[in-house]
Amino acid sequence: FQLNYNPDAECGYGKNVSGEVFMPENNKNEDGSLTAEGDLFSYICSATGRAYDLTEYVNDTNRQYTEVLTAYTVNSGATESYSYNGRQRLSRNDIWTEARDLVCNETSYYLYDGRGSVTANTWQNGMVTSVYQYDPYGQVTLGSTEHTDFYGYNAESYNPNTGLEFLRARYYNAEIGRFFQEDTYLGDINDPLTLNRYAYTKNSPLNYIDPSGHTQVGIPKGIISRTFDKLVDNIKGKLFI
């Protein structure tokens, strides 16, 4: 799961899964004891009274690199489901409910550049809803990244609250072009650039990607064109094979 700060939400009194009254001050129960780690609330509150959204994920681990299948935000009841063609994320389906009534069911699609970064999102009718551009190391130079589950540079997950990109083993900071944590892979003494355990893709982001968070791989060839062809077929109402 993941916690994201929500500046528009307010903390309030409520009950946890054990039926105990929850006090927003310091995450304590009515009797002053701390809440258990497993207690879930519409909003998780910090000691300062800030509210956080709780998002739960269902991941597909039966692939080379784990990808998100479904993301469920507890407080809003919003569900986001993703479809794929190989490694490429094709679409996102958003479902919003209120008092168990369906209020929104929309599908958007991803368009990519030659290296596999998301450059645009469209509705099913083809209308473009957002456009993105990046510098070589992945900083967004055009477009908004405010969505909690934003997939952009190299189609990887970016968290707008931390400014970091999740590359499975580690978090990557595009602003400085470095990983946030030291790599557990020690590198290859015959390849000196791999000995810098914070460097991203041996300082060559135009030629490599790093979906594992451990080592660079070449940018796949031909994937983008095949993905676009299938995307067009889907918009026309055809089934994927």
Decide if 97 contacts 105 (C-beta within 8 A). Answer: no
pLDDT tens digits along 34-62: 343 333 334 455 555 566 778 899 999 99
Model confidence at 24: pLDDT above 70: no
Considering the entire predicted model, what is its pTM?
Answer: 0.73
DSSP per residue, the chain: -EEEE-TT-----EE-TTSPEEETGGGEETTSPBPPTT---SSEE-TT--EEEEEEEEEE-SSSS-EEEEEEETTTTEEEEEEEETTEEEEEEEEEEETTEEEEEEEEEEEE-TTS-EEEEEETT--EEEE-EE-TT--EEES---SSSEE-GGG-EEETTTTEEE-SSSEEETTTTEESS--SS--BTTBGGGG-TTBSGGG-TTTEE-TTSSS-EEPPSSHHHHHHHHHHHHHTTPPP-
Residue 25's pLDDT band (boundaries 50, 70, 90)?
very low
Angle at 82 between CA 81 and CA 83, to 5 degrees: 135
Tokens representing 100? 């168990």
Residue 20's pLDDT band (boundaries 50, 70, 90)?
very low
- If 0-12 CB within 10 Å is exposed, 13-18 middle and 19+ buried, where does residue 39 land? middle
**What is the pLDDT at residue 86?**
87
Model confidence at 23: pLDDT above 70: no
Domain count, the chain: 1
Tell whether 53 is covered by a domain: no
**What is the pLDDT at residue 70?**
96
Domain housing 103:
61-229
Beta carbons within 10 angstroms of residue 19's beta carbon: 6
Tell whether 196 is covered by a domain: yes
Tell whether 167 is covered by a domain: yes
**Alpha-carbon gap, residue 216 to 208, rounded angstroms:** 6
Tell whether 164 is covered by a domain: yes
Tell whether 35 is covered by a domain: no
pLDDT tens digits along 189-226: 999 999 999 999 999 999 999 999 999 999 876 554 44
**What is the pLDDT at residue 31?**
42
For the CA atoms of 113, 152, 169, 46, the dihedral, rounded to the nearest 10 degrees, stands at: 180
Tell whether 235 is covered by a domain: no
Residue % of the chain over a pLDDT of 90? 57
Tell whether 152 is covered by a domain: yes
Sign of CA dihedral 110, 227, 112, 71: positive
Tell whether 148 is covered by a domain: yes
**Alpha-carbon gap, residue 138 to 157, rounded angstroms:** 12
